[in-house]
C-alpha cells in the first residue's frame, strides 16, 4: 500500500487528471459533435482562402442566361423552342455534353395547343391549325435527342406524388454494404415533363445543400431520393460523356469510400460527398446565351467542353456561399465540381484522417503530460509553441501539396486543454502554499504585504515605479476639543475613532482607493496603485463625497446617542485634500522595515490642500489636474489660484459641491457663473466691480455653505482697495502657512 501511495505521489495528481482528460477528449473526437465538426471545416475554409485552386484548365463552360440575354429575347421563362435552338447551336459548336441547371417541371405554356386554349375570340380554323403544331416541349425533346443532354432534377424535403415511373438511365454497381443509409436523402423528387425525361441522355440532381453555417463545402455525388439512388448532375454528365453504363459505389462499415465511373474514381466522405477545392471567380467560365444564339461564339469556346446552362440574372440567380466567395452562382459550383474531377484537383478527407488526428492528439498529449510538470514555464511555452507549429505546418503541407485534409485543430485543442489543466492544478497547489504563508506571517505583517509575499517574494525589495496617481489627505477638524470630552474615557475615544475610521475606510476602498496609513485621526490614501485605475481622479472625488455623507450619518447616530445618555455632543467635521500628478509608489523604508507607500511633490501638495480646507471653510479642496479629469462628473467651483508655502508655482484650486445632478442644477450654475465673473474682475484688479459681484454671489449662493469663502474675498477686496497690489500682480494668492 505504501509503495502504491509513493508511486501515485511520484506520478502526480496533475498527470492522472490529464490522462483522464485525454481519454475523454479521444471519446469526444470519435463522437464528433457538431461544434467539433464546425471547427474542423472552418479550418479547411481558411486554407482555401489562403490558397485557392488555380484553374489552369477549364473543361467546363457555363452558358449564362444573363441580363443581356433576357433583354434580347424576353423575360424568363423562355419558350422551349428558343432553348431548343440553344441546344442545337451548342451541338453544332461541338459540345461534349449539355447539362441543364434548370428544371422543366411543367409543360411550356407557350406551346401552340396550350396557347390556343388561352386565346379568346380565336377563329376555329386558326385554333385547329395551332392544335396540330408540335408542342414546344416536343421541339426541345427533338433537339435533345440529336445530342447528349442531361436535365436537372431536384430533391424535395416533402414527399411528392410522381406522375409515373422515372425512366431508367443509369445503373449502380455496389461494392460493399448498401450505401442508402449513409447518403443524403430526400423524401420527394421534382422531375421534368415526361417528353423531356424520355429524350434526355441522363438525369441528375442539381440540389446543392449548404452546411449548418450556410457554406457549401461538399456536394453529394449520389443521393437517396424516395428510396432510389440518383446521381448528381455533374456525375451524370461525366457518365454520359464517357458512355459508361453504370456508376460504382464503394462502401465499408464506416460509410461510402468513393464513387466511380470507368476511368474516374472520385474519393468522397462517408456520405458520398465530394470536397470541392474552389478556384476564384473567373468570368471566362461564362458565355452569354445571347452570344450563342446569335452565333457570336467561336467553336473553341464550346468544342469538346462540358456545358452547363444556368443563369446569373438578378431574380433568377441561385446564390451559394462558399469558402472563397460569399455569393457564388449555383451553376458555377457545379462547374467547379467538373473542373475538380477532370483536373484531379479535388480535396480528399481520407478515411485514415480521423485516426491520424487522434494519434497526434494522444502522442503530443502524452508528451505534455510527461514533461509538463518537470519543465519550467518558459520551456513549457516553447514546447507548446513547437508542438502547435508542427501540427499546423503538417496540416498545411498536406492541404497545399497533397490536397489531403488533415485537421490540426483537434490535436491542438487537446494538447492546449491538457496544458491548461496542468497549469490549473499547479495554480491550485500554489494557492495552498500561499494560504500557508498567509497563516504563518499574517500575525506579523500587514495584510497587503502578506499578500505580496504570498504571490512573489521578489516584490519585497526597496524601490518603486513612476505613476500618475491621485492622493487624498483627510483630517478631523477640532479633534483636540473632541478628545477633551473623552479625557476620563480613553476607551470611549478609541471606540469613536474606530466608528469613524471604519466608514471612511470603506468609502475609499469601495471607490478603488488604497489606504496608505492612518495618522491619528487623519487618513492618507491613493488611487491607481497597486492596480491600474484609468479613472482614478473620478473615483477619488466620488470617495470624498461619500466620506462626507457617511460622516453626516455618523453624526446623526452620535447626536441621538448623546441625547439619550446626556453627554455633550460635538459633531465630527472633516477636511479633505485631493491632488493628481506623477508620483513614485512602491516599497519605501529601510532594509529592515518598509511599507508600500507613495512619494512626490504631488503628495505634498495634497497635504497642503487638506490644510487649506479649513481656511476656505469648505470640506473638500482639489488640485487643478484632478479637477480637469473629473470636471464633467461633479459640481466643481474654482476657489482661488494660490502658491503654497515653500513652492513658487501657482496652483488653481477647486471645491466639490456635489455630483453630476448638482452640476446641472440652475442654482449651482448661477453661483458658478457669478463667482467666475467675480474672480475675473478680481484678477483684473477691478475691485469695485468685484465687491459688487460678491454681493450677487452671496444672494445666489445660499444653501451651498460658501459664506466663509465670500467673506475671504470681501476682506481681500477691501484691503486691495485701501492698499492696491503691485502693477504686475497676477491674482495669485501666496499662502504663508501650511
Mean pLDDT, to the nearest integer, of 624-642?
94
pLDDT in tens, 451-487: 655 565 444 445 578 999 999 999 999 888 888 888 8
Q: Which residue has the cell 459664506?
A: 707
Who has greater pLDDT, 345 or 14? 345
Pairing, β 222-225 against β 185-186? parallel
Mean pLDDT, to the nearest integer, of 200-220?
91
pLDDT in tens, 47-85: 999 999 998 888 999 999 999 999 999 988 999 999 999
Q: Which residue has the cell 455569393?
A: 327
Q: How far apart are CA 629 and CA 578, in angstroms?
A: 12
Q: How far apart are CA 435 and CA 433, in angstroms?
A: 5
Who has greater pLDDT, 209 or 523? 523
Instruction: For the chain, state the CA radius of gyration.
Output: 44
Mean pLDDT, to the nearest integer, of 327-352?
91
Please, are residues 202 and 150 in contact by the beta-carbon 8 Å criterion? yes
Q: Which of 224-238, 270-284, 365-379, 498-512 has the lowest mean pLDDT?
A: 365-379
- Could you tell me the three cell numbers for 30? 470519435
**Phi, psi of 149, deg, nearest 5:** -130, 135
Considering only CA atoms, which of 411, 397, 409, 412 is closest in space to residue 51?
A: 397
Mean pLDDT, to the nearest integer, of 340-352?
89
State residue 442's pLDDT score. Answer: 40
Angle at 94 between CA 88 and CA 96, to 5 degrees: 100
Average pLDDT across the chain, whole number: 87
Q: How far apart are CA 254 and CA 406, in angstroms?
A: 18
State residue 163's pLDDT score. Answer: 60
Could you give the count of Cα atoms lying within 13 Å of 698 in the half-sphere of its Cβ?
13
Q: Which of 334-348, 439-453, 644-658 has the lowest mean pLDDT?
A: 439-453
State residue 520's pLDDT score. Answer: 85
248 pLDDT more than 90: yes
Length of the chain measured in residues? 738
Q: How far apart are CA 717 and CA 709, in angstroms?
A: 13
Beta-strand (E) ranges in 600-716?
620-622, 634-643, 651-659
Angle at 176 between CA 29 and CA 230, to 5 degrees: 90
Q: Which residue has the cell 428544371?
A: 103
333 pLDDT more than 90: yes
Q: How far apart are CA 618 and CA 620, in angstroms?
A: 6
State residue 535's pLDDT score. Answer: 95
Q: How far apart are CA 64 and CA 41, in angstroms?
A: 31
Q: Where in the chain is the domain with CATH 3.30.70.1230?
A: 461-664
What H or E segment, with its residue span, contains residue 436? helix 409-441
CATH number of this structure's domain 461-664: 3.30.70.1230
2 pLDDT more than 60: no
426 pLDDT more than 60: yes
Beta pairing partners, 185: 224
Q: How far apart are CA 236 and CA 308, in angstroms?
A: 12
Q: Is 4 exposed, middle or buried (0-12, 13-18, 19+ CB in 10 A)?
A: exposed
Q: Is 350 exposed, middle or buried (0-12, 13-18, 19+ CB in 10 A)?
A: middle
Could you give the count of Cα atoms lying within 13 Å of 303 in the half-sphere of its Cβ?
5
412 pLDDT more than 80: yes
State residue 448's pLDDT score. Answer: 53
Considering only CA atoms, which of 72, 105, 104, 99 is closest in space to residue 87?
A: 99
- Could you tell me the three cell numbers for 368? 505534455
DSSP of 296-360: -S-HHHHTT-EEEEEE-STTT--EEB-SS-TTEEHHHHHHHHHHHHHTT--BB--TTHHHHHHHH
Helix, strand, coil shares, percent, the chain, to 5: 50, 20, 30
Count other C-beta atoms under 10 Å from residue 357's C-beta.
21
- Could you tell me the three cell numbers for 152? 436537372
pLDDT in tens, 659-683: 999 999 999 999 999 999 999 999 9
178 pLDDT more than 70: yes
State residue 514's pLDDT score. Answer: 86
- Could you tell me the three cell numbers for 685? 484688479
Q: How far apart are CA 70 and CA 242, in angstroms?
A: 33
9 pLDDT more than 60: no
Mean pLDDT, to the nearest integer, of 141-153?
94
Mean pLDDT, to the nearest integer, of 588-599?
72
C-alpha separations of 392 from 22, 34, 50, 369 in Å: 20, 22, 14, 21
pLDDT in tens, 95-121: 999 999 999 989 988 888 777 777 767
Angle at 348 between CA 344 and CA 352, to 5 degrees: 140
State residue 278's pLDDT score. Answer: 94
Count other C-beta atoms under 10 Å from residue 204's C-beta.
29
Mean pLDDT, to the nearest integer, of 169-183?
89
pLDDT-above-90 percentage for the chain: 52
Q: How far apart are CA 393 and CA 399, in angstroms?
A: 10
State residue 428's pLDDT score. Answer: 76
Considering only CA atoms, which of 74, 102, 68, 80 is closest in space to residue 307?
A: 102
**Phi, psi of 406, deg, nearest 5:** -125, 125
State residue 5's pLDDT score. Answer: 46
State residue 169's pLDDT score. Answer: 66
State residue 387's pLDDT score. Answer: 83
Q: How far apart are CA 650 and CA 734, in angstroms?
A: 8
3-state secondary structure of 63: strand
243 pLDDT more than 70: yes
204 pLDDT more than 50: yes
DSSP of 565-621: HT------EEEEEEEEEEEEEEEEE-SS-EEEEEESHHHHHHHHHHHHHHHTT-SEE
3-state secondary structure of 495: helix
What H or E segment, with its residue span, contains residue 431? helix 409-441
3-state secondary structure of 67: helix
Q: How far apart are CA 452 and CA 439, in angstroms?
A: 14
Grade residue 443 by pLDDT with cuts at 50, 70 and 90.
Answer: very low
- Could you tell me the three cell numbers for 690? 468685484
DSSP of 405-428: ----HHHHHHHHHHHHHHHHHHHH
State residue 455's pLDDT score. Answer: 61
Amino acid at each position: 500500500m505504501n509503495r502504491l501511495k509513493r508511486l501515485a505521489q511520484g506520478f502526480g495528481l496533475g498527470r492522472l487528471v490529464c490522462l483522464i482528460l485525454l481519454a475523454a477528449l479521444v471519446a469526444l473526437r470519435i463522437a464528433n459533435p457538431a461544434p467539433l465538426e464546425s471547427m474542423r471545416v472552418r479550418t479547411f475554409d481558411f486554407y482555401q482562402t489562403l490558397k485557392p485552386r488555380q484553374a489552369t484548365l477549364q473543361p467546363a463552360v457555363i452558358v449564362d442566361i444573363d441580363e443581356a440575354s433576357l433583354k434580347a429575347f424576353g423575360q424568363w421563362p423562355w419558350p422551349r423552342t428558343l432553348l431548343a435552338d440553344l441546344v442545337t447551336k451548342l451541338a453544332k459548336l461541338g459540345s461534349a455534353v449539355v447539362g441543364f441547371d434548370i428544371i422543366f417541371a411543367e409543360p411550356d405554356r407557350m406551346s401552340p395547343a396550350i396557347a390556343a386554349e388561352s386565346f379568346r375570340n380565336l377563329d376555329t380554323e386558326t385554333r385547329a391549325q395551332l392544335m396540330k403544331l408540335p408542342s414546344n416541349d416536343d421541339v426541345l425533346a427533338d433537339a435533345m435527342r440529336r445530342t447528349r443532354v442531361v436535365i436537372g432534377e431536384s430533391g424535395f424535403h416533402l414527399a411528392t406524388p410522381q406522375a409515373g415511373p422515372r425512366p431508367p438511365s443509369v445503373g449502380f454497381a455496389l461494392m460493399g454494404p448498401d450505401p442508402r443509409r449513409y447518403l443524403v436523402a430526400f423524401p420527394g423528387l421534382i422531375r421534368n415533363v415526361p417528353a423531356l425525361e424520355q429524350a434526355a441522355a441522363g438525369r441528375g440532381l442539381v440540389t446543392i445543400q449548404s452546411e449548418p453555417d450556410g457554406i457549401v463545402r461538399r456536394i453529394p455525388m449520389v443521393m437517396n431520393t424516395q428510396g432510389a439512388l440518383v446521381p448528381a448532375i455533374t456525375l451524370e454528365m461525366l457518365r454520359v460523356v464517357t458512355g459508361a453504363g453504370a456508376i460504382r459505389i464503394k462502401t465499408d462499415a464506416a460509410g461510402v469510400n468513393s464513387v466511380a465511373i470507368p476511368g474516374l474514381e472520385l474519393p468522397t466522405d462517408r456520405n458520398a460527398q465530394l470536397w470541392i477545392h474552389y478556384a476564384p471567380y473567373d468570368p471566362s467560365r461564362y458565355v452569354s446565351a445571347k452570344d450563342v444564339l446569335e452565333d457570336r461564339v467561336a467553336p473553341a469556346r464550346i468544342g469538346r467542353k462540358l456545358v452547363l446552362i444556368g443563369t446569373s440574372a438578378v431574380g433568377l440567380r441561385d446564390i451559394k456561399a462558399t469558402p472563397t466567395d460569399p455569393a457564388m452562382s449555383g451553376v458555377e459550383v457545379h462547374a467547379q465540381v467538373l473542373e475538380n474531377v477532370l483536373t484531379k484537383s479535388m480535396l480528399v478527407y481520407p478515411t485514415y484522417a480521423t485516426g491520424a488526428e487522434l494519434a497526434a492528439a494522444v502522442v503530443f498529449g502524452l508528451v505534455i503530460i510527461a514533461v509538463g510538470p518537470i519543465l519550467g514555464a518558459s520551456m513549457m511555452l516553447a514546447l507548446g509553441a513547437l508542438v502547435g507549429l508542427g501540427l499546423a505546418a503538417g496540416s498545411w503541407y498536406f492541404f497545399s501539396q497533397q490536397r489531403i485534409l488533415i485537421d490540426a485543430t483537434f490535436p491542438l485543442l487537446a494538447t492546449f486543454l491538457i496544458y491548461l489543466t496542468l497549469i490549473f492544478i499547479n495554480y491550485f497547489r500554489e494557492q495552498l502554499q500561499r494560504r500557508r504563508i498567509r497563516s504563518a506571517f499574517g500575525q506579523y505583517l500587514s495584510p497587503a504585504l502578506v499578500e505580496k509575499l504570498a504571490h512573489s517574494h521578489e516584490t519585497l525589495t526597496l524601490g518603486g515605479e513612476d505613476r500618475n496617481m491621485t492622493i487624498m489627505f483627510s483630517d478631523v477638524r477640532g479633534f483636540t476639543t473632541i478628545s477633551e470630552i473623552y479625557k476620563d474615557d480613553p476607551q470611549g475615544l478609541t471606540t469613536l475613532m474606530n466608528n469613524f475610521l471604519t466608514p471612511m475606510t470603506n468609502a475609499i476602498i469601495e471607490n478603488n482607493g488604497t489606504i496608505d496609513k492612518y495618522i491619528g485621526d487623519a487618513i492618507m490614501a491613493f488611487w491607481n496603485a497597486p492596480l491600474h485605475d484609468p479613472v482614478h481622479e473620478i473615483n477619488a472625488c466620488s470617495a470624498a463625497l461619500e466620506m462626507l455623507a457617511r460622516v453626516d450619518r455618523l453624526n446623526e447616530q452620535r447626536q441621538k446617542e448623546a441625547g439619550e445618555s446626556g453627554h455633550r455632543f460635538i459633531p465630527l467635521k472633516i477636511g479633505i485634500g485631493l491632488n493628481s500628478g506623477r508620483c513614485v509608489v512602491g516599497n519605501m523604508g529601510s532594509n529592515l522595515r518598509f511599507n508600500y507607500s507613495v512619494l512626490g511633490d504631488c503628495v505634498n501638495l495634497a497635504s497642503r490642500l487638506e490644510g487649506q480646507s479649513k481656511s476656505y471653510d469648505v470640506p473638500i479642496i482639489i488640485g487643478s489636474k484632478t479637477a480637469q479629469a473629473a470636471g464633467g462628473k461633479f459640481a466643481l467651483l474654482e476657489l482661488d489660484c494660490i502658491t503654497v508655502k515653500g513652492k513658487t508655482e501657482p496652483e488653481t484650486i477647486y471645491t466639490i459641491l456635489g455630483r453630476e445632478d448638482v452640476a446641472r442644477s440652475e442654482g449651482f450654475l448661477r453661483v458658478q457663473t457669478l463667482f467666475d465673473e467675480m474672480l475675473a474682475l478680481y484678477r483684473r484688479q477691478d475691485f469695485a466691480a468685484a465687491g459688487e459681484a460678491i454681493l450677487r454671489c452671496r444672494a445666489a449662493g445660499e444653501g451651498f455653505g460658501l459664506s466663509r469663502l465670500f467673506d475671504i474675498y470681501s476682506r481681500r477686496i477691501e484691503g486691495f482697495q485701501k492698499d492696491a497690489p503691485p502693477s504686475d500682480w497676477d491674482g495669485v494668492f501666496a499662502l504663508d502657512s501650511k
